[in-house]
Structure 1
Amino acid sequence: MLSYQHTYHAGNHADVLKHIILGDVVSGMFNKEAPLFMLDAFASRGIYNLNSDEALKNREFDTGVGKLWPRRNQKSPEGVARWFKLIASGNQDGGFSRFPGSTALLHEMCREFDRLSACDLHPQEFDGLRRSFQANRRFSLLKRDAFEALKALLPPKEKRGLIFLDPSYEVKDEYRQIAKAVVDAHRRFATGVYVIWYPILPAGRHHELFNDLKRSGIRKILRVELDCADTFPDMQMSGSGMLIVNPPWHAQHAIKNSLNWVSEKLTDGNGLTQLNWLVPE
């Protein structure tokens, strides 16, 4: 949706879960040395300024990176430590105001023989993406519709791929639109790893996404979810989750450790977690 700008929400509890778990999935896929294609379909601007007027308006980052940053030097799971290290690398002053999004994470993790494409159709967000990153032969910046890009870019020549989908969900039918896009893409590229982020909102529309995927015939869909309950009462979004189609086996232990750590530290032990199969193998 062209009115949505993620800067207002950057660094919140959903971003924490999203980026740490995404890193765990990618790391699990690296267990094989074969080249990998990665697509960040709703990339936004890639790197966010948490000192901007937009980010400071509601200070949502206080529910996420702001709460966890003081723990950066404490022992933590591998996925969390990777995330802390990425943030620290872009903030020489020891802070976290230059906050990396999913594109920055994937770009940092990308090996020399992998490829990454980042898409965004919003003019301001895409301009920010171009300011943050330099495109090259292995890293393409695409000002195009995410759903069109899925059709055009899959299956990739590498035969291995990770597709990350985190739309704004500001349009009510976008939950079902995402499900349909994944089902269509899966028909053409059944071995791809699809990572779908979703918010937990009072309307509960994420269940539409669940139900459509359950009916699709796709197998091996892992559900990873953190509901912060009443930890952040000023936020309409109480939590978020990720559905992972074809999760790499080597990632599942890391995902469990990351989820438990984030839940404990963000919610002081009051969070509700889910780590189970939405659809088993």
Structure 2
Amino acid sequence: MLAYRHAFHVGNHADVLKHIVLLGVLERMAAKDKAYWYIDTHAGAGSYQLGERMAQRLAEYETGIGRLWGRKDLPPAVAAYVEQIRAFNADGALRTYPGSPALAGVMLRPQDRMRLFELHTTDHRLLANTWGQQAHVEVRQADGFAGLKAMLPPPSRRGVVLLDPSYELSSDYGQLVAALRDAVTRFATGVYLVWYPQLQSLESIRLPKRLKALSPAGWLHAQLTVAAPRDDGFGLMGSGMFVINPPFGLQENLKTALPWLARTLGQDGAGKHLLEAHTP
């Protein structure tokens, strides 16, 4: 996990799905005047330059945000997301991709608070340089799974938690479930967003079922597949977002966005989607 750098994958199909869901949640949190906390357990560098070496090495953004940049037929949730990305690229050229902290930062109001965790030394330094001086933001170089415990429940009793580990180690799955189980016990009404990779591994396949067991008050599960399974069993087929306590209206927005994204970002006709939800 200490070797993982999100800059290699920035702006890809997984970021598109993650950030559409994140922005949809934060927009609905701001519908009420009462303050909320945004907590990111694996914040990364916060923002990325697409012309830099790491982003150019795989250039995954070209088949992610790059495919949406010039489109005029965007569904509402996708259009809202692209509009936020455009705000970071004032001249109209796609050069900067904001990470989750940057997108959340522009959505926060004066009464809201942001807490960011990042363990990687270089990414933490970049994150702290951007956000460390903000009065309403706290940046910590620490394990977000462990640090989450001290953050919950937030004083306002309203909060959004994004859990987005690298999953480079199979132990990340177990740590995620354990951290989330503890978090829901401490703060049952929080909104929890979990991103996960869609792989041909038992840990990845079983994760949504494990998350459903932690969500008695309701959940939403969105999955975007862009590639067919490979014969060798490796490779990223897509990704998923699992939301505990999803705000009202989020599912409706994704109903039109996900099928469109599957058609637009799918490779060689492999695009498909899944959207399911449970409200007791």
TM-score after normalising by structure 1: 0.91
Report the alpha carbon displacement of residue 93 of structure 1 after superposing the two structures with TM. Answer: 3.0
Which sits farther off after the overlay, 87-96 or 160-169? 87-96
Q: 2:41·2:162 contact (CA, 8 Å) conserved in 1?
A: yes
Which sits farther off after the overlay, 76-85 or 239-248? 76-85
What is the rounded CA distance, in whole Å, between the counterparts of 2:58 and 2:99 in structure 1?
Answer: 18
State the one-letter code of the partner of 2:91.
Answer: D
What is the rounded CA distance, in whole Å, between the counterparts of 1:23 and 1:259 in structure 2?
Answer: 15
What is the rounded CA distance, in whole Å, between the counterparts of 2:172 and 2:229 in structure 1?
Answer: 27
Q: 2:173·2:207 contact (CA, 8 Å) conserved in 1?
A: yes
- The alignment partner of 1:249 has SS state of coil
The change in CA–CA distance for 1:29 and 1:252 in structure 2 (over 3 A counts) is: farther
Match of 2:99 in 1: 101
Deviations 1:86-105 (A, max 9, x none): 22222233222211011111
Q: 1:29·1:251 contact (CA, 8 Å) conserved in 2?
A: no
State the one-letter code of the partner of 1:162.
Answer: V
Match of 1:259 in 2: 258
Deviations 1:191-231 (A, max 9, x none): 00000000011224223322333444634121100111349
Report the alpha carbon displacement of residue 55 of structure 1 after superposing the two structures with TM. Answer: 1.1
1:55 aligns with 2:55: yes
Match of 1:126 in 2: 124
The change in CA–CA distance for 1:27 and 1:79 in structure 2 (over 3 A counts) is: same
Q: 2:199·2:235 contact (CA, 8 Å) conserved in 1?
A: yes
Match of 2:28 in 1: 28
State the one-letter code of the partner of 2:35.
Answer: P
Which sits farther off after the overlay, 56-65 or 3-12? 56-65
State the one-letter code of the partner of 2:247.
Answer: P
CA RMSD across the alignment: 2.1
Q: 1:178·1:209 contact (CA, 8 Å) conserved in 2?
A: no
State the one-letter code of the partner of 2:225.
Answer: D
Count of residues in Structure 1 that have an aligned counterpart in Structure 2: 277
State how 1:148-227 maps to structure 2 within 5 Å.
Answer: 148-216=146-214, 218-227=216-225
Q: 2:159·2:191 contact (CA, 8 Å) conserved in 1?
A: yes
What is the rounded CA distance, in whole Å, between the counterparts of 1:231 and 1:188 in structure 2?
Answer: 38
Q: 2:215·2:244 contact (CA, 8 Å) conserved in 1?
A: no
State the one-letter code of the partner of 1:24.
Answer: G
1:113 aligns with one of 98, 102, 111: 111
Report the alpha carbon displacement of residue 58 of structure 1 after superposing the two structures with TM. Answer: 1.3
What is the rounded CA distance, in whole Å, between the counterparts of 1:207 and 1:106 in structure 2?
Answer: 29
Report the alpha carbon displacement of residue 171 of structure 1 after superposing the two structures with TM. Answer: 0.6
What is the rounded CA distance, in whole Å, between the counterparts of 1:111 and 1:79 in structure 2?
Answer: 21
- The alignment partner of 1:125 has SS state of helix
Report the alpha carbon displacement of residue 280 of structure 1 after superposing the two structures with TM. Answer: 4.5
What is the rounded CA distance, in whole Å, between the counterparts of 1:8 and 1:232 in structure 2?
Answer: 21
The change in CA–CA distance for 1:236 and 1:161 in structure 2 (over 3 A counts) is: same
1:76 aligns with one of 74, 77, 81: 74
Report the alpha carbon displacement of residue 107 of structure 1 after superposing the two structures with TM. Answer: 0.3
Q: 1:24·1:255 contact (CA, 8 Å) conserved in 2?
A: no
Deviations 1:137-159 (A, max 9, x none): 21222222101221011100010
Which sits farther off after the overlay, 162-171 or 28-37? 28-37
Please, which runs of 5 or more residues in structure 1 have no aligned partner? none
What is the rounded CA distance, in whole Å, between the counterparts of 2:29 and 2:254 in structure 1?
Answer: 13
Q: 1:27·1:251 contact (CA, 8 Å) conserved in 2?
A: no
State the one-letter code of the partner of 1:61.
Answer: Y
- The alignment partner of 2:116 has SS state of strand
Report the alpha carbon displacement of residue 261 of structure 1 after superposing the two structures with TM. Answer: 2.8
The change in CA–CA distance for 1:24 and 1:214 in structure 2 (over 3 A counts) is: closer
State the one-letter code of the partner of 2:11.
Answer: G
What is the rounded CA distance, in whole Å, between the counterparts of 1:114 and 1:127 in structure 2?
Answer: 23
What is the rounded CA distance, in whole Å, between the counterparts of 2:156 and 2:116 in structure 1?
Answer: 17
Which sits farther off after the overlay, 24-33 or 180-189? 24-33
- The alignment partner of 2:262 has SS state of helix
What is the rounded CA distance, in whole Å, between the counterparts of 2:36 and 2:215 in structure 1?
Answer: 25
What is the rounded CA distance, in whole Å, between the counterparts of 2:11 and 2:215 in structure 1?
Answer: 35
1:141 aligns with 2:118: no
Report the alpha carbon displacement of residue 26 of structure 1 after superposing the two structures with TM. Answer: 1.4
